Amino acid sequence: MTIVNVEMAAAWDGAEGEQWVAQADRYEATGTRYGEALLRAAAVGPADTILDVGCGTGRSTLELARLAPSGSVLGVDLSAKMLERARTVAQREGLTNVAFEQADAQVHSFPEATFDVAVSEFGAMFFADPVAAFANIRRSLRPGGRLAVLAWCEFADNEWITALRDALAVGRGLPTPAAGAPGPFGLADRDNTEGILAAAGFGHIGFERLEEPIFLGADADDAFSFVSTFGMTRGLTHDLDDAGRAAAMEALHACLRAHETSAGVLFGGSAWLVRAARP
């Protein structure tokens, strides 16, 4: 296996991936409406051959497999632990038209002109070289093959991260994540993302802005047991002393309490649904 996205591989094939697997059911429940929109955009046919990029623990991959009972789905990800869980769930559910492979989609040798559709549910924002990665994905698509990608919009438009960061800051000034850098907001800038896809050889590029809630738990205590394990939470509190860390966690709990609704703890979210095609 060739890896060029070394920094992201170290995170996702390490502690971040292990933490995600430990909370997989909860992560997969955070934004189900986004996933439903992605499946509609992919317009999968019953015999389609599908590539799922950054498939994680496989929720999107398995849904795609159900939509293509006479076709097949290949899910790829950097995380061995996440893929292990995905295989276990696929086997438990009796889905035989799905396979998983640990791979860096930026350089992996996919079979050329093979897939009818490629999708990525919040996985394509992490590419070190997005033009190279999307060009590699384009080569794997048949002529006329479709691409459907979910990626977060601007940092300021995603309350699920701004509010939590503000709470954990406990008065500290924190830098704003840069749009375009590998990470959650790597494809946040619409014009930049359109340029990336065009440079990678895609055409018929379109954007749809989705604004759907992010579900973090049944109530504040339940949400706190989840959010307190986030890599972001650990990262923003690791350099605090005991008193500072306690204050940050109390502020986080208060933030979650303020977002309790009859449907659970909800925060605002905003994402791009990007469509494109191989000419």
* Residues 95-120: tens digit of each pLDDT: 999 999 999 999 999 999 999 999 99
**Which residues are CB-contacts of 103 (< 8 A; sequence separation ≥ 6)?**
1, 76, 77, 78
Q: Is residue 11 part of a domain?
A: yes
Q: Is residue 264 part of a domain?
A: no
Q: Is residue 71 part of a domain?
A: yes
Structural contact between residues 230 and 24, judged by C-beta atoms closer than 8 angstroms: no
Structural contact between residues 117 and 61, judged by C-beta atoms closer than 8 angstroms: no
Task: Supply the pTM of this predicted model.
Answer: 0.95
Structural contact between residues 274 and 53, judged by C-beta atoms closer than 8 angstroms: no
Amino acid 75 reads G
pLDDT of residue 177: 82
Q: Is residue 65 part of a domain?
A: yes
CATH number of domain containing 112? 3.40.50.150
Q: Is residue 265 part of a domain?
A: no
Question: Domain tally for the chain?
Answer: 1
User: How far apart, in whole angstroms, are the C-alpha atoms of residue 179 and residue 126?
Assistant: 11
Burial of 258 (0-12, 13-18, 19+ CB in 10 A): exposed
Strands (E), the chain: 49-53, 72-77, 98-102, 115-121, 141-152, 203-210, 213-217, 260-261, 264-268, 271-277
Range(s) of the domain holding residue 86: 6-154+177-213+271-277
The structure tokens 């920094």 sit at: 7
Model confidence over 222-263: pLDDT tens digits?
999 999 999 999 999 999 999 999 999 999 999 999 999 999
**pLDDT above 70 covers what percent of the chain?**
100
